[in-house]
Amino acid sequence: MSTMTTISENPKAAAATEPATATGLIGFLPVGIARALALGGGVLTVASTFLAWTWTPRFPGDLTFYGSPGGLQLQVLVLGLLTTLFALSSYGVKGTRWLTPAGPDAALKLAALASFATAWFTVGAISVDLGGPVNLEPGGAVVALATLLALLGALALPFERPKLLPVDPEDTGWDQFKHRSANNWATFKAAFATGPVRRLPAMHSSVEILIITAVLAVALGVFTYGIGTEYDELFLGFLITAGFGFAAVNKSGLMQQATQLTKKHQNLSIAGAFTAAALFPFTQTDDQYATLGVYILIFATVALGLNIVVGLAGLLDLGYVAFLGVGAYAAALVSGAPSSPFGVHLPFWAAILVGAGASLVFGVLIGAPTLRLRGDYLAIVTLGFGEIFRIAVMNTDGTSGPDVTNGSNGIASIPNLSIFGFDFGAEHTIAGFTIGRFANYFFLMLLIMAVVVLVFRRSGDSRIGRAWVAIREDETAALAMGINGFRVKLIAFALGASLAGLAGTVQAHVTYTVTPEQYLFAGPIPPNSAFLLAAVVLGGMGTMSGPLVGASLLFLIPNKLQFMGEYQLLAFGVALILLMRFRPEGMIANRRNQLEFHEKDETPATLAKAGA
């Protein structure tokens, strides 16, 4: 376990710290008792999910059955099993050590915390919805006690507590407060620190492929479960379960090992991911959740295009959603919509070229005069372009300007796509499964995303991609090495714009109508420029899968939190702040960003290797 150092704001306390005695967060509970509590609490948590938690089916999910977990009980069951397995690994039980290649204790603490949070949230929700704890059955009390015992046992496990430096009495009250906060944060991080991840043993390629398949199957199952949550309490519990569960699995080292395997078989992993995504519509009985799926794909495709501009080239673009709008409007005007003044009905392959081409032209026209700016100045200009686009399409209504876009009413009644006689607006039966309208567009967007992923991979690994990274890291040094900075940035801007326009052509046909209000800088529902940028940063800048994960979360969560009304954005903002505080490099970050954001955490290990 690596030794943590205290980050002090006091210059007089800048010396390195020495590790103190190994203790737990809740005191000097013997290690044996702590592990027994964690294991016993995990087993009891699993058993409690087979008991009734309430007496009435009025609580969503009907938790009144014995021997048949349902609703939130299933989430607690999964977390209880995870806690039990990590506890067995902490004991060193043969056959469970592979679960924690980075050490069991940190993962066990997070798994126990996840079980506790989800179980107590469920118990609290039952009490609030039904009118008090009196509505709990014995199973509800058992799960509350079991998860509490498991959490106490896990937090009592020892760790290398850093020796905290004393507060300088000459400091002001605010400096002393910051110093104590830094000491407390160092202690907290040390409690959840993990050791180095053990190297994977040599395995046959077929075994590695099976592991990748299992990982993709789990990912598909989690996504399908999350998008198909039927009531509000279930989705909130899913957020708690997925958040803490992902943190626990990540701390165990399993995520790092899965990443190693996917990098080793990158092409196979990408093909498997698209295959898993293509199976999603077959898991749905109607178009209710396939609708969310196709919108998520549109949002994710645009975010991946923005990742070229922001993640690879380092250009802060705050008006990127305008390129999505340009592609949508261009395709709508030539797709045979009755409200289009052109009266043109081009086939889809021509409409998609018009949409992507229009966005490409606008990207060049906007980028040519502005990309000589840097940083905040470039951000302000791109923000202005986004607003100019929205105002322009509102004014080209035949009254304030030429009659092109029908003003605030937009282009309505856009017909469904038909490619080679395949009508995307009609239901089709494939292998006994009925595929509806949105499922058809889901498959189409999956093909377009495959094109975008291919472009991103090829451009990122090419000479121009390395030039983008050089510009992002240090533009002055890149120019000194002979890179034509303006041309390189213009290519990134134009390529990103054309990819957004590509997605916009499908969005116009999916939504039937394009209006200026769909392309704001910020709003409660994506896609908009603020959410697109947040998806890139949250998912992991410069990576291929990061923005896809970030976009999926940022589209799904606001849609599922609409029941919170005016508090929706507040809760969403708090969640983003916490995520960025604990994982600033993003959900899926490259090694460079991890080293930059955790430079102080990596320093002791690096120095130790150098000393050895």
C-alpha closest to that of 390 among 415, 363, 408: 408
> Contact, 494 vs 360, CB < 8 A?
yes
Q: Give the residue-averaged pLDDT of 314-340.
A: 85
Q: Which amino acid is at 386?
A: G
More confident: 415 or 22: 415
> Among 88-102, 199-213, 262-276, which is the least confidently predicted range?
199-213
Q: Band of the pLDDT at 44, cuts 50, 70, 90?
A: very high
Q: Write b or e for each residue in 60-74: b if 16 or more Cβ atoms lie within 10 A of its Cβ, otherwise e.
A: bbebbeeeebebbbb
Q: pLDDT digits over 267-284, tens only?
A: 888 888 888 888 888 877
Q: pLDDT digits over 489-528, tens only?
A: 888 888 888 988 888 888 888 888 888 888 887 766 667 7
Both tokens of residue 582? Answer: 């604990």
Q: Give the residue-averaged pLDDT of 570-583.
A: 75
pLDDT surpassing 50 at residue 11: no
Give percent above pLDDT 70 in the chain: 83
For the whole model, what pTM was predicted? Answer: 0.78
Distance from C-alpha of 390 to C-alpha of 331, rounded to nearest angstrom: 17
DSSP, collapsed to helix, strand or coil, labels residue 164 as: coil
Q: Band of the pLDDT at 183, cuts 50, 70, 90?
A: low
Q: pLDDT digits over 577-590, tens only?
A: 877 777 777 777 66
Q: pLDDT digits over 220-235, tens only?
A: 888 888 887 888 888 8
C-alpha closest to that of 17 among 598, 600, 606: 600
pLDDT, mean over the chain: 79
Q: Which amino acid is at 258?
A: A
Both tokens of residue 386? Answer: 């986004």
- In this prediction, residue 459 carries a pLDDT of 81
> Contact, 233 vs 75, CB < 8 A?
no
- Sketch out the chain's domains with CATH numbers: 25-157+197-259 (no CATH), 286-560 (1.10.3470)
Cis amide bond preceding 527, omega within 30? yes
Q: Give the residue-averaged pLDDT of 130-134.
A: 86
Q: Give the residue-averaged pLDDT of 164-184.
A: 66
More confident: 38 or 404: 38
- In this prediction, residue 74 carries a pLDDT of 92
Q: Give the residue-averaged pLDDT of 153-166.
A: 76
- In this prediction, residue 150 carries a pLDDT of 92
More confident: 595 or 124: 124
C-alpha closest to that of 532 among 323, 266, 362, 390: 323
pLDDT surpassing 60 at residue 305: yes
- In this prediction, residue 547 carries a pLDDT of 82
- Residue 402 has a CB neighbour count (10 Å cut-off) of 11
Distance from C-alpha of 176 to C-alpha of 76, rounded to nearest angstrom: 41
> Among 1-10, 148-157, 393-402, which is the least confidently predicted range?
1-10
- In this prediction, residue 525 carries a pLDDT of 62
Q: Band of the pLDDT at 123, cuts 50, 70, 90?
A: very high
